[in-house]
Structure 1
Amino acid sequence: MKITAIILTYNEEKHLARCIDSIKEVADTIVVVDSFSTDATLDIARSYGVDVVQREWVNYATQFNWALTQIAVDTSWVLRIDADEVLSEYLSTEIKLHLPELGSNIEGVYCDRRMKFLGQPIRYGGVFPIRVLRLFRYGRGECENRWMDEHIKVTGLTEDFKGEIVDDNLNSLTWWTDKHNKYSSREAVDMLNLEYDFMVHDSVASLRGSDQAGLKRWVKERVYSRLPCGFRAFAYFFYRYIFRLGFLDGRAGASFHFLQGFWYRYLVDAKIEEVKRHMRENGVDIKVAMHRILGVRA
């Protein structure tokens, strides 16, 4: 059995060594797919002797699915992990002990993903830990073709592990808000596609089974997306911070739930409205408006 880990990078010198250290005992091969970093990312990767390939960035799904074409065909399982994430010791042990025992009908493995914000674990708000599919049989899974919030999808049976992947980004709050400003443009594209249907709709949304990602995506696409712009951001924040007890996460948690649960969502809605206004005022179609306003070619 051979496990290949894929890490997508761009200027990840703060995180890459920590990530590799957490997976090197379980991954037989580590492939770093870099988008032409300008810091020490490549030097760190090469110092570990991992495989390095480079490709211009379009979006996560495109980059990851391209990476799947670059790994060895004798790979048995693929591990998806971000550079600012680490495997818990418990999950590492589960992978080493239990992954070889899984039947050939099991195509993917779910685990928990927990997040830290400003160095503090986020425990409330109903968002962490969340179940994510990060291990899948080579040739049986791929990343959803979306601009934002991408999940790995498989068609066969899955297994649940109890260990965690921990997202612990060490960059500043200024970096975080800049990143989420960029994310909001990409999410606006996905939300606009639900209304205008200008590209293939690829989604794990489902009410069947116990897949948390599928259920949350269904609610987002069938309920949240149909609420009025602006109001839905406030409603979502209120749900997370009050009903799901986000206020128990303290001061760092208050910042996280407000910024990620309200500010970010409201920014997505504001950009959606800006695109629609540009369409009305200039008589252009959705793709032209998105390129002019969001800088995205879909």
Structure 2
Amino acid sequence: MNGLSFDSAQDDRAKTKTMNKNFSFIILTYNEEIHLPRLVNSIKNLNAEIFILDSGSTDKTLEIAKRFNAVVQSNPFVNHPKQWDFALKNFQVSTPWTIGLDADQIVSPELFELLKGFKDEDFADISGIYFNRKNYFQEKWIRFGGYYPIYMLKMFRTGMAYSDLNENMDHRFIPGGKTIIWKKGHLLEENLKENNLAFWKAKHERYSDLIAVEEIEREQKLRTQTLKANLWGNPDEQKTWFKKQWRNLPLGLRPYLYFSYRMIFKMGILDGKTGIRFHYLQGLWFRLLVDKKISELKRNRV
């Protein structure tokens, strides 16, 4: 497997064991035949129920989901926050905890062990758990440039958490209570389709539309901020603080400031040729595209 590795020949004896009573998985999919087996093979021996929300796959995704006995529903895709909102409201999850994953992610063996030993009663006062993510681009782990560690709230109490619909592109779960961070173990994330730069650019063209509209709506007070911006808060509150500062910077200039910050202060240059290409695309090219579209939207309002 490109970039990441996991033993896909794990023991199938989990099928005959008692179902996991602590947590279930929800996975979003769209044409994920190259990713879904990789993810499910990394979690199947946890013997947890798997729910899949698909958005119109035309490849073998649904066939694969059926093979792994997943509960499947379909919903047209608008954006990630709305898709997660539908998933949380329409799947009948009976376990006290839910883990929400994207199809291009994998549970590492170390994270698998943490989940294997997880018991609900040991986390009675906790509502959400952040996982540590390793992001890969074209087989390269993006270790620098502010891309590691990245903590993502992926595990939360069923029925308490909700999807933040005040976001238009980035999605986050609001857990409704105290959270903790698991620094050990990782979610390994690599979208193999992004090895094709034409795919990557087309995807980020769509993302830039969503972000540009979001920034305009926030400027017009049409979109509020769910989380409190707090530099010293949890990882999502910290991100909210940085995004608030970002929106106050001059359009057209801020992408260059951000790219320089990633490359120099966050040592992105140490990620090598492939990593530098990623930082350029994600930190400069994409941000310039967003700013261009924001400027166009503002001109069209006049």
Task: Report if aligned partners of 2:24, 2:49 keep a CA contact under 8 Å in 1.
Answer: yes
- Runs of 4 or more above 4 Å deviation: none
State the alpha-carbon separation in 1 of the partners of residues 68 and 298 from structure 2.
48
CA drift at 1:254: 0.8
Work out whether residues 151 and 204 of structure 1, in 8 Å CA contact, stay in contact via their aligned partners in 2: no
Q: Which residue of 2 aligns with 1:257?
A: 279
Q: Where do 1:279-298 residues align within 5 Å?
A: 279-280=301-302
1:155 corresponds to: 176
- 1:185 shift after superposition: 0.8
The reply on whether 1:248 has 2:270 as its aligned counterpart is yes
**CA distance, structure 2, for counterparts of residue 276 and residue 5 of structure 1:** 41
Alignment of 1:96-135 (within 5 A): 96-135=116-155
Given that 1:206 and 1:214 are in contact with CA atoms closer than 8 Å, whether structure 2 keeps it comes out as yes
Are 1:278 and 2:300 an aligned pair?
yes
Aligned counterparts of 1:167 and 1:21: Cα–Cα separation in 2: 15
Q: CA deviation at 1:208?
A: 6.4
Aligned partner letter, 1:248: L
Shift of 1:101: 4.7
- Alpha carbons 2:22, 2:118 under 8 Å: kept: no
**Structure 1 gap ranges (5+):** 281-298
Q: Does residue 229 of the first structure (1) align with residue 247 of the second (2)? A: no
Q: What's 1:219 paired with?
A: 242
- 2:15 is aligned to none
Q: Does 1:6 align with 2:26?
A: yes
The 3 A distance-change label for structure 1 pair 253 and 208 is closer
Q: 1:87 to 1:115 in 2, by over 3 A?
A: same
In structure 1, what is the Cα distance between the partners aligned to 2:262 and 2:250? 18
The 3 A distance-change label for structure 1 pair 257 and 27 is farther
Shift of 1:98: 3.3
Cα offset, 1:111, TM superposition: 1.4
Q: Distance in 1 between matches of 2:149 and 2:197?
A: 21
Distance across 2 between alignment mates of 1:225 and 1:264 = 15
Cα shift at 1:92: 1.1
- 2:102 is paired with a residue whose SS is coil
Q: CA deviation at 1:137?
A: 0.5
Percent identity of the aligned residues?
38
Counterpart code for 1:217: T
Matching residue of 2:261? 239
Which residue in 2 is equivalent to 1:185? 209
Q: How far apart, CA to CA, are the structure 2 residues paired with 1:21 and 1:182?
A: 30
Q: Secondary structure at the match of 1:75?
A: coil
1:73: Cα distance to partner? 4.6
Deviation at 1:209, TM superposition (A): 4.7
For 2:262, the aligned partner's letter is: R
- Give the letter aligned to residue 45 of structure 2: E
Counterparts of 1:5 and 1:59, CA distance in 2: 20
Please name the residue that 2:78 is paired with: 58
Q: Which has the larger displacement, 23-32 or 132-141? A: 23-32
- What is the alpha-carbon distance in structure 1 between the residues aligned to residue 189 and residue 227 of structure 2? 22
Shift of 1:104: 1.9
